[in-house]
Structure 1
Amino acid sequence: MAISLRKICAAWGVLLVSYVGLCFVLWPFLKLETAPGDWKVAGAGDEVLADFSASASSSSSFPQTCPADSKSGLCSPTERRFFFGLATAPAHVEDNLNDTWLEFARGHNGIFPVRAWQNVPIPEERLRFWTQPEIELDLAKETGITVFRLGIDWGRLVTEEPYNGMDQAVDMEAVERYKVILQAIRSRGMRVMLTLFHHSIPKWALIYGGWTQEKTVGYFTEFTRFAQKHFGEYVDYWITFNEPHIFVLLTHCSGTWPPGGQPSWKESLLCFTPYGHYGKAMAAISEAHKAAYNVLHEGDPKAVVGVAHHVGVIKPYGILDIPVVVFSRWLTEFKWIDDIHKHLDFCGINYYGQEILSSAGLMLVPEEEYSEAGRGVYPDGLYEVLVTFHKRYRRARPSLRYIVTENGFADARDIVRRPYLLEHLLAVNAAIQKGVPVDGYVQWTITDNWEWADGYCPKFGLVDSDRWDNLSRHPRPSYYLYQKVVRSGLILDQQRKEEWNTLQSDMRQGGIRPFCRVSDSHGRMWAESLDVPATRKIADKDWRFGKYKNPGVLEYVLRSFKVIGILLEDLGNWCMGSNPHMSLPPELRTGEL
């Protein structure tokens, strides 16, 4: 027995040493392009940190004037003048929309999977963009932006499964209403960036399995052809899919998005294989994008077609978490774009920040700053992503351009959002100076809206919407800051210092902010959100672009012991059949701001 025990211990020792060795071998694969030490525009002087009106995405300077696009009277997308924009999506803002999200939010058998929805007034009206689009459009116009990103809801337009073609399944009244909205965008001097699929699948497609079934590819191709025929004259930029790997992961693998429901252990085990729901759905979506790309170019050879790809910088919490981070990056970073890059005119990047991942789950690190939605603040990451993507695809697809199709910060107090905005624009400017062909930046979003399963808890808007006062709008300071940047094309050193000093002053006075993500006593963040936000102190960390410092090796080692402890406790809870302790971590507390 003693010899057998020694053999078992030795075997475990060999496995542990091998695993640690694997972690160090994989460490270099996590490295992205680091932010430059000197990122100022050469010759611009100390006052101007970025000049988007004079810095080119593909050459030394933008034209001060450009030929008018015959459709809009504005500069054509092909002229490469850097643009600023604002973004939204149907499920976030459209009223009179009886979609899968509304059905999901209303709950079933007393279970309500969408948080901060049942406890707010008129949640189903969202932002009334369908009946009152002029409110959002006027707010957008006043900032001075030249590109407005929105979507068309597939299920609103195609109300039943089109067995016998599109003509018999389409609601033509909805088609005409979308035309009115698109015309309203044009009449306000803004170009249109139109998304065809933004996390909302028709009810009839969800019934038979959605993107896990091949026939959805054909249906989406015909939907694209229909959209090009009826809306093409208004559209400057087409986005076929928005963050499909996020949609597939949360819909098919975790069940936290419509239709909900926990997948079986077998489905969970196979999900990320070619035979699982994730593998099947992503393969179908890749095929659907390629078909849609060809359809749009057949209808208009000058069409500008891309996707909006979510990329966050995933970092390990401890040394022993490196393998799970490498796998997560492989799954979410390049895999989809590798499949479709030859069918892209631009690659849209949706960037919100970093995620610190352990083998026990996502971690809420006390020293880091987070948005209300649980995204870690890391402006350097936007630069890293843009430069890394450009290096990866510039030979295989030399003409590929980039657009930051989403970047924003959930912050009801609007105290972190302002420096967040400036620092991320500085990251974009630095990427342009590095030679990355970035054509524009689109801020998410105009007004606080319905944020998927998080409901109305995270406040992403530059404008506050008072749901207790008939959705009255109240622009925040960040709205006027973005307006200044958009209209001038400049980011000034003085602006940067003022916004950062305001944040630091608030932090030194013990400033706290809302936080919407469910966390446990170990500091793990879960997929669930909160009906009423907890509060969290503003972090004492310099996360500005080019100044962020990662922890040292010793800290990563110490964190690994913490993760081992969490996993052992989880194993004990599982063996005992008890639920893990779900009290708030020390850095969060309940209560009013």
Structure 2
Amino acid sequence: MEQLKPGVFPSEFKLGVNFGSPYQIEGLHPPTDYTTVVNRPPEHGWWNDPTLQETDFGLAKDLGVRTARIGIEWARLYPEAGKVDRKAVTRYAEMVGELDTVGIDPIITLHHFTLPEYIASAGGWANPRIASWFKEYAQFVAQEIAHEAPSIVTINEPSVFLLNGYGKGYWPPHKRLSPQFFLAYANVVRAQTAAYRAIKDVNPLARVGVSEVLRSFAPANAVERSEATVRGFLFNELLYELTLKDFLGVNYFNVYTLKLSKLQKKPSAQIARPQDDRGSLINPQHFLTALENLYRAIKKPIIVTENGVADAQDRVRGFYLVFHLLAVAEAIKRGIPIEGYNYWSLTDTYEWMEKLGTSRFGLVSVDFETMQRIPRKSYYLYQRICREKIVDVDSLTSEFLTEQEREYLNYCASLLSQGGKA
């Protein structure tokens, strides 16, 4: 096994980026279950302005990434039940081909929250027939669009759209505390399994997985530790256990606190625990622990399919990136087979159910009036890491990090390497 120094990635490790889901970036939206929501993304996007797509592909290439996650809109391929839009098929196939041509491996996502309106009207995920519908769709994409894609994510964050759609009622189909949650959950498992087999029938070499939010819980006492263990199984491991997969797609953003424990004093009194624009604490040790627990439970390779921070002013994004990449590098050193990391997201995008521009995750800022793209400072930090395949805190300090951040990062890196809590 390749011996690695702290912050160094193995030669086969792939650093990448997310473009965003079709609903977030494509514009000219076909009818879906999100058509009638109040806060919607702009209608101006990739689909009716190909120059935006070309610009984003160029930004990804210049970034130096080896992978990029791109989505397919089910409702765009099948605007009506059983009816295929051949122009949409051609356009998606061209997108995938363009990425491959410039040396970027596409990670294709088949479902990222939205359903065709006619499927939603028929009951959506609560309709048992959705497994066969999704299988047909997945098989078609594998044949016509993703036949050379090395990795395919069938379903993105099932627990998120199921809890928000059938538990809290915030998202379509807006059912609060609905018993249909359990039926929908079972149908997601059936649909993913059917899609996995259909894709493998078309391309046995394709690597197929599901992406789920990896939740890390920070308990304050023994009772909360027990609760955290139960929640970790229900939210992190159960869906992975129930589905067929070649890899575990992990989406991780922050730690979930059951009760906020008293924070330890850090080496510089001036450095407070950093927070994003949503008030979430940034702590990569919980990320490392969650990765270890997940791999211990389910022995499959891991791809970090999403990791990002809402930071409109780019205050902590560079810090966040370095912090979490150090945790990934340490996890690999400890023997966890993590194959890649994909930052969320390349550009600012619409965030689900929020007013446009409320949360900005992009390495590249977007003016949603003009759609102008301007790389942030963190874009160039990640560019250097992608090109050098090493997270060298000291070398990044003069241009991208403050001395206090450098001190704190080096302190935390030493704790991570020693198995301590950052």
TM-score when scaled to structure 2? 0.87
Match of 2:269 in 1: none
Q: Could you tell me how far 1:221 is from its partner in structure 2?
A: 0.5
Take 2:49 and 2:142, find their aligned partners in 1: how far apart are those partners?
Answer: 21
With over 3 angstroms needed to count, the CA separation of the structure-2 counterparts of 1:146 and 1:250, relative to structure 1, is: same
Question: Of residues 89, 99, 118 in structure 1, which corresponds to 2:21?
Answer: 89
Take 2:183 and 2:49, find their aligned partners in 1: how far apart are those partners?
Answer: 34
- Deviations, residues 157-197 of structure 1 (Å, cap 9, x unaligned): 11123xxxx3xx21112111111222221222211110011
Q: Secondary structure at the match of 1:85?
A: strand
Q: Could you tell me how far 1:444 is from its partner in structure 2?
A: 0.7
Match of 1:336 in 2: 239
- Deviations, residues 434-480 of structure 1 (Å, cap 9, x unaligned): 11111111111100000111242111000001123x11111001000
2:373 equivalent to 1:476: no
Question: Of residues 213, 222, 226 in structure 1, which corresponds to 2:140?
Answer: 226
With over 3 angstroms needed to count, the CA separation of the structure-2 counterparts of 1:131 and 1:493, relative to structure 1, is: closer
Match of 1:391 in 2: 296
2:54 equivalent to 1:134: yes
Alpha carbons 1:371, 1:411 under 8 Å: kept: yes
- Deviations, residues 250-309 of structure 1 (Å, cap 9, x unaligned): 11111111243x52xxxx2xx5xxxx2222112111111111111111111111111112
Unaligned runs of 5+ in 2: 264-271
Match of 2:332 in 1: 432
- Deviations, residues 217-236 of structure 1 (Å, cap 9, x unaligned): 11000111111110133411
Match of 2:43 in 1: 124
Match of 1:207 in 2: 121
RMSD over equivalenced CA pairs, Å: 2.9
With over 3 angstroms needed to count, the CA separation of the structure-2 counterparts of 1:190 and 1:43, relative to structure 1, is: closer
Question: Of residues 288, 291, 306 in structure 2, which corresponds to 1:406?
Answer: 306
Q: Which moved more, 1:324-333 or 1:204-213?
A: 324-333
Take 2:385 and 2:409, find their aligned partners in 1: how far apart are those partners?
Answer: 25
2:84 equivalent to 1:170: yes
Q: Could you tell me how far 1:326 is from its partner in structure 2?
A: 4.6
Q: Secondary structure at the match of 2:248?
A: strand
Q: Secondary structure at the match of 1:453?
A: coil
Alpha carbons 2:106, 2:151 under 8 Å: kept: yes
Take 1:283 and 1:423, find their aligned partners in 2: how far apart are those partners?
Answer: 36
Question: Of residues 67, 74, 80 in structure 2, which corresponds to 1:160?
Answer: 80
With over 3 angstroms needed to count, the CA separation of the structure-2 counterparts of 1:357 and 1:125, relative to structure 1, is: farther
Alpha carbons 2:151, 2:208 under 8 Å: kept: yes
Q: Secondary structure at the match of 1:305?
A: strand
Question: Of residues 134, 139, 148 in structure 1, which corresponds to 2:68?
Answer: 148
Q: Secondary structure at the match of 1:239?
A: strand
Q: Secondary structure at the match of 1:490?
A: coil
Alpha carbons 2:33, 2:116 under 8 Å: kept: no
Alpha carbons 2:155, 2:192 under 8 Å: kept: yes
2:249 equivalent to 1:348: yes
Take 2:49 and 2:338, find their aligned partners in 1: how far apart are those partners?
Answer: 31
Take 1:216 and 1:128, find their aligned partners in 2: how far apart are those partners?
Answer: 27
Match of 2:7 in 1: 50
Take 1:543 and 1:356, find their aligned partners in 2: how far apart are those partners?
Answer: 23
Give the letter aligned to residue 406 of structure 1. E
Q: Could you tell me how far 1:128 is from its partner in structure 2?
A: 5.7
Alpha carbons 2:112, 2:155 under 8 Å: kept: yes
Question: Of residues 347, 367, 371 in structure 2, which corresponds to 1:466?
Answer: 367
TM-score when scaled to structure 1? 0.63
Take 2:248 and 2:100, find their aligned partners in 1: how far apart are those partners?
Answer: 24
Alpha carbons 1:416, 1:503 under 8 Å: kept: no
Alpha carbons 2:237, 2:298 under 8 Å: kept: no
Matched positions, count: 404
Take 1:126 and 1:256, find their aligned partners in 2: how far apart are those partners?
Answer: 25
- Deviations, residues 116-167 of structure 1 (Å, cap 9, x unaligned): x6xxxx8332566863311110000001111111110011111123xxxx3x
Take 2:291 and 2:383, find their aligned partners in 1: how far apart are those partners?
Answer: 24
Alpha carbons 1:422, 1:496 under 8 Å: kept: no
2:249 equivalent to 1:379: no
Take 2:205 and 2:127, find their aligned partners in 1: how far apart are those partners?
Answer: 32
Unaligned runs of 5+ in 1: 1-40, 56-61, 63-80, 108-113, 395-399, 506-539, 552-593
Alpha carbons 1:352, 1:408 under 8 Å: kept: yes
Match of 1:186 in 2: 100
Q: Secondary structure at the match of 2:295?
A: helix
Match of 1:298 in 2: 201
Alpha carbons 1:412, 1:459 under 8 Å: kept: yes
Give the letter aligned to residue 75 of structure 2. G
2:353 equivalent to 1:448: no
Match of 2:172 in 1: 258
Alpha carbons 1:238, 1:306 under 8 Å: kept: yes
Q: Secondary structure at the match of 1:104?
A: coil
| Map 1:473-512 → 2, pairs under 5 A | 473-495=373-395, 497=397, 499-501=400-402
Give the letter aligned to residue 293 of structure 2. T
Match of 2:185 in 1: 282
Q: Could you tell me how far 1:427 is from its partner in structure 2?
A: 0.6
Give the letter aligned to residue 17 of structure 2. L
Take 1:415 and 1:356, find their aligned partners in 2: how far apart are those partners?
Answer: 23
Take 2:44 and 2:118, find their aligned partners in 1: how far apart are those partners?
Answer: 22
| Map 1:552-563 → 2, pairs under 5 A | none
Aligned residues: percent identity?
Answer: 28
Give the letter aligned to residue 173 of structure 1. K
Q: Could you tell me how far 1:501 is from its partner in structure 2?
A: 2.6
With over 3 angstroms needed to count, the CA separation of the structure-2 counterparts of 1:318 and 1:420, relative to structure 1, is: same
Q: Could you tell me how far 1:500 is from its partner in structure 2?
A: 5.0
- Name which one, 1 or 2, has greater alpha-carbon Rg: 1
Give the letter aligned to residue 367 of structure 2. D
2:188 equivalent to 1:311: no
Question: Of residues 264, 275, 296 in structure 2, which corresponds to 1:370?
Answer: 275
Take 1:157 and 1:347, find their aligned partners in 2: how far apart are those partners?
Answer: 26
Take 2:4 and 2:329, find their aligned partners in 1: how far apart are those partners?
Answer: 15
Alpha carbons 1:126, 1:450 under 8 Å: kept: no
Take 2:412 and 2:234, find their aligned partners in 1: how far apart are those partners?
Answer: 28
Q: Secondary structure at the match of 1:148?
A: strand
Alpha carbons 1:94, 1:126 under 8 Å: kept: yes
With over 3 angstroms needed to count, the CA separation of the structure-2 counterparts of 1:374 and 1:338, relative to structure 1, is: farther
Q: Could you tell me how far 1:425 is from its partner in structure 2?
A: 0.7
With over 3 angstroms needed to count, the CA separation of the structure-2 counterparts of 1:369 and 1:219, relative to structure 1, is: same
With over 3 angstroms needed to count, the CA separation of the structure-2 counterparts of 1:543 and 1:298, relative to structure 1, is: farther
